[in-house]
Amino acid sequence: ASARRARPADPRAGFRRPEADSLPPVPQGLLRAARKSGHLNLAGRGLSEVCKHVWRINVDAPEEAQQNLSFTAADRWWEQTDLTKLILASNKLHSLSEDLKLLPALTVLDVHDNQLRSLPSALGQLENLQKLDVSHNQLESIPEELLHLSHLKSLLLHHNQLNHLPDGFGQLVSLEELDLSNNHLTDIPTSFALLTNLVRLNLASNQLQSLPADLSMMRSLRQLDCTKNQLETVPSKLASMASLEQLYLRKNKLRALPELPSCKLLKELHAGENQIEILNAENLKHLNSLSVLELRDNKIQAVPEEITLLQKLERLDLANNDISRLPYTLGNLPQLKFLSLEGNPLRTIRRDLLQKGTQELLKYLRSKIQADVSVPGEEPPVTAMTLPSQSRINMHAITTLKLLEYSDKQVAAIPEEMFDAVQSHPVTTVNFSKNQLKDIPPRIMELKDSLCDLNLAFNKLSSISSELCLLQKLTHLDLRNNLLASLPEELAALGRLQSINLSFNRFKVFPSILYHILTLETILLSNNQVGAIDPLLLQKMEKLGTLDLQNNDLLQVPPELGNCENLRTLLLEGNPFRTPRAAVLARGTAALLEYLRSRIP
């Protein structure tokens, strides 16, 4: 009789591997732990369905409670935590039960790598859900109810079989990350424009032939991946996406790079494997923050000199194009660590040099800049036109690069023959930085019909000649690290000036003439002794996007500065004012301007 008596329940039974189909596939020990932690991980268990105990974990009493067992303080199931995280990834699930609605506290639901063909409408009742991963399934559509998840921040739908999205997709206003790659989408709902908190959007490997121009409304978007679609153009409105940092356009049908004048923060632009034939200066000159430019496997024939404006460039991939010659000034890009040129019909660079690596290549390009236009090793032929100092003057730079450079020589005056050599060549850039100049060389004015960029940084200038106003085409003026305390009123005549760098000088007041140069986009005035600014006059400078006043003597920041809504970069660190505090400054320009507006009486 004793042999037939029921054995007492073994409390460890739940932790043993199930040996028969009758045993529950989810160990009781896991469910017990989940009641305490709020997390349940059932990934990779070969489940073809989810047992009801999982869906009802916060509804039913556990099995132990139905047996007459004594509970320790640690096992009080009625003090359980609601399930907030459920992982069912890498199983064999074909569907999810509508009982999903019994887990209303879920913030994370991960069912990636299953065989789901649809999602239950009950999903829309998980109002606390913040992350949903249904990638690597067989979904053909998304239930409308999913659009009710107003707190959803991350939605991963990649590697499914979606061919359309609901029109109301823009209702998911909290979304910060959306991955729709590797589906069959042919278009994007216009309501995407409402996803203004989206930071990362992945549309790669679909069948998109165009992008809606309204994507430009996504003011927070930092990463946009449109790799491997059928795009022939990119909407011009995309150029206004000021937050964009990474743009992937590889493997499409683009014939030209998009112009991105407002994408000042763009760090990476990937446009390889397209049909791009021409690289325009306009495509490049605004991309001041670019560190990666990938243009391999296109049909590019020439690289413009303006590529040297990309001073932060670290990687440049031009492999497998139709480039026959390069601007030698590429060798002067200070940050360039990787340059790929193989597969081009280059005439001036030997193949064995290409195989020696980036640093050798850059060294060679630099040597060609310094070389005279004559063949190396030969004396230049003496003619009546040959200047006595022709060998010291870089004629290649003057004639081809339109650059007059005499920098880092620590001289008190620029040799006259430098200006003589220019003759009638239209020079656009002058670099006389890192010398001992006390005055602006008067012969610079001879270049007034063409000069756009003037660099006189790191000299001993204590005043600026009013004749500088003759340089009507000047767009960039670099005067940092001099001894300047004022600017002449005549500078107001510089009607095309876009940027001026006055950092590390001796200004005690904000140069009032700058308020009247309304074309200015960038004013760099850090490390001076400026004590005050006029926010009302700054507000009239509608093109001003960058204002750097770090390390000055500002005792207060006028709240009205918050009305300068065109400012994308406002730098005020290192001043003696008490408010705004450092924590506010650290939150970035938009938050700082909002704070200042809130303080306007």
Residue 387 has pLDDT above 80, yes or no: no
pLDDT reported for residue 78: 58
- Identify residue 452 by its one-letter amino acid code: C
Confidence of residue 179 (pLDDT cuts 50, 70, 90): very high
Confidence of residue 496 (pLDDT cuts 50, 70, 90): very high
Q: Is the pLDDT of residue 21 over 50?
A: no
pLDDT at 62: 67
Q: What tens digit of pLDDT does each residue of 163-173 get?
A: 999 999 999 99
Does 438 score more than 90 pLDDT? yes
pLDDT at 208 over 70: yes
- Looking up tokens 């909290």 gives 174
pLDDT score at 601? 86
- CB proximity list for 240: less than 8 A, separation 6 or greater: 216, 262
Please report the pLDDT score of residue 11 as a whole number: 45
Q: How far apart are CA 465 and CA 538, in angstroms?
A: 25
- pLDDT of 262 reads 81
How far, in Å, CA of 169 to CA of 173, rounded?
A: 9
Percentage, residues of the chain above pLDDT 70: 89
Residues forming beta bridges with residue 315, ordered by sequence position: 292, 338
The predicted model scores a pTM of 0.59
Give the pLDDT score at 367. Answer: 85
Amino acid 67: pLDDT = 53
Residues 103-117 have pLDDT tens digits of 999 999 999 999 999
**8 has pLDDT over 90:** no
Question: For 338, left (φ over 0), alpha (ψ -120 to 50), or beta?
Answer: beta
pLDDT score, position 258: 86
- Band (pLDDT 50/70/90 cuts) for residue 587 is confident
* pLDDT the model gives residue 424: 85
Specify the long-range contacts of residues 547-554, CB closer than 8 Å, at least 24 apart. Answer: 547/523, 547/571, 548/503, 548/523, 548/524, 549/525, 549/575, 550/526, 550/574, 550/575, 551/526, 551/527, 551/575, 552/525, 552/526, 552/527, 552/528, 553/508, 553/529, 554/530
Between CA 485 and CA 491, with CA 490 as vertex, the angle to 5 degrees is: 70
Q: Please give the average per-residue pLDDT across 576-581, as a whole number.
A: 91
Token pair, residue 111, equals: 């069912």
Quickly name the fold that domain 254-369 has: 3.80.10
